Amino acid sequence: MKLMNKRISYLLTALIAVSILFTANSFLSGSMTRFEDDTDMPIEKATVESIVDKTTDSYDYDGDSMDVIEITFEARFASGDKKDEIVTASQTIESTPPYNSTNEVKPGDSILIIDAGIDASEWYFVEHVRTDKLMILGILFAIALLIFGGKKGFNTLLSLSLTCGAVFAVFIPSILSGRNIYLWSILVCLYSILTTLLILNGYNKKSLSAILGCFGGVLIAGAITLFMDNVLSLTGVISDEAVYLSYLPTETPINLRAIIFAGIIIGAMGAIMDVAMSISSSLWEVKRNVAKIKTQALFISGMNIGKDIMGTMSNTLILAYIGSSLSMVLLLTVYDSSLLHLLNREMIVVEILQALVGSFGILFSLPLTSLFSSIIYSKDSGGS
């Protein structure tokens, strides 16, 4: 009976989670600003059949040399109404040795081509198709999860899918429909925390204490972000992408500072959730093996366990942010002669803020999870 109840609870959780995604998406998509492509230049997937011609011209600009490579090739359409038709297309590459703006096409490559002709079809190379390789890697990852994780691996895939669905099917439409970004980012975090922990661990005390500790850490991270947003006089214009967002003709202008807030708490949520679940699970094992342990002793045990976790998790978070922005930091370091100016650039400040606020979220989730776990586990020794 207990096993049956767990299965029913699991199925209900998954069904409710999916229903929430569809309902929220329907609610938000109706008022979402959409931008239709008003051009008549279709993009098609094709396969390179053969190289017809290749020429290279060199130019000098203020002492710098640049090569312009023109490649003419035959391509076979891989989908759509024109499938299996062969057309002649061209690729232009601006090359500043030793770097090219893109890789040269070669027979067998899967590519995207666009018809930019006015009176007659003129097909041009757009980009290499890379999603098929990424899909293969994703499938291998899913298989590895199922092999090594079994049921837990399947639950991981399900919770990951729901989290991605919350971001792309709910959070993005909420921004484009002019909703409050601060509120919806918190709601998405709450949804992700609940679905992930309940699907992975079920309805039990471990999940409850982890949920409370994790959401508490996320709220504290959000509060620190809001405070530092005002203290640091942020504008939200930290990249070209942010500038493009500010130019979108939406009914309600996109709040770039709110985008920073959302990026910080959503980015930190995973690490905070990991820490909260680790503390909650560890303290449950302590309680299960030492049934008469006092609440205070259980809390102290949680704090001691947390001290070993906090260092590696903070390193994980900070190194992830450093790795993701390494190219930008290198470029700014090369072209900025003043270290003081470099460290005060808003894009650098936001990267540092992300790492620090995420670490604060981890730090505060430790005592919160330890506190909730020690109180909840001490009520009685039955159940999990």
* All residues at 6 or more sequence positions from 142 whose CB lies less than 8 Å from its CB, including other chains: 157
pLDDT digits (tens, 9 = 90+) for 174-190: 998 889 999 999 999 99
- pLDDT of 174: 92
Report d(CA 198, CA 128) in Å as an integer: 40
Greater confidence, 240 or 227?
227
Q: How far is CA 255 from the centre of its chain?
A: 19
Q: Work out the pLDDT band at 382, boundaries 50, 70, 90.
A: very low
- pLDDT of 52: 93
Domain ranges of the chain: 2-29+150-378, 43-115
Q: Are 181 and 261 in contact (CB under 8 A)?
A: yes
Report d(CA 343, CA 346) in Å as an integer: 8
Q: Are 216 and 20 in contact (CB under 8 A)?
A: no
pLDDT digits (tens, 9 = 90+) for 99-140: 666 888 999 999 999 988 776 778 999 999 999 899 999 999
- pLDDT of 33: 64
Report d(CA 207, CA 191) in Å as an integer: 14
Residue 98 above 70 pLDDT?
no
Residue 31 above 80 pLDDT?
no
Residue 5 above 90 pLDDT?
no
Q: How far is CA 278 from the centre of its chain?
A: 22
- pLDDT of 37: 55
Q: Work out the pLDDT band at 249, boundaries 50, 70, 90.
A: confident
* All residues at 6 or more sequence positions from 35 whose CB lies less than 8 Å from its CB, including other chains: 248, 249
Residue 227, helix vs strand vs coil = helix
pLDDT digits (tens, 9 = 90+) for 152-176: 899 999 999 999 999 999 999 999 8
Q: What percent of the chain has pLDDT over 90?
A: 52
Bond before 98 cis per omega within 30 degrees: yes
Q: Which token pair is 157? A: 């895939």
- pLDDT of 341: 75
Q: Which token pair is 193? A: 């925390």
Greater confidence, 248 or 51?
51
* All residues at 6 or more sequence positions from 39 whose CB lies less than 8 Å from its CB, including other chains: none
Greater confidence, 371 or 315?
371
**Measured torsion, CA atoms of residues 172, 264, 21, 179, in degrees rounded to the nearest 10:** -50
Compute the residue count for the chain: 384
- pLDDT of 81: 83
Residue 337 above 70 pLDDT?
no
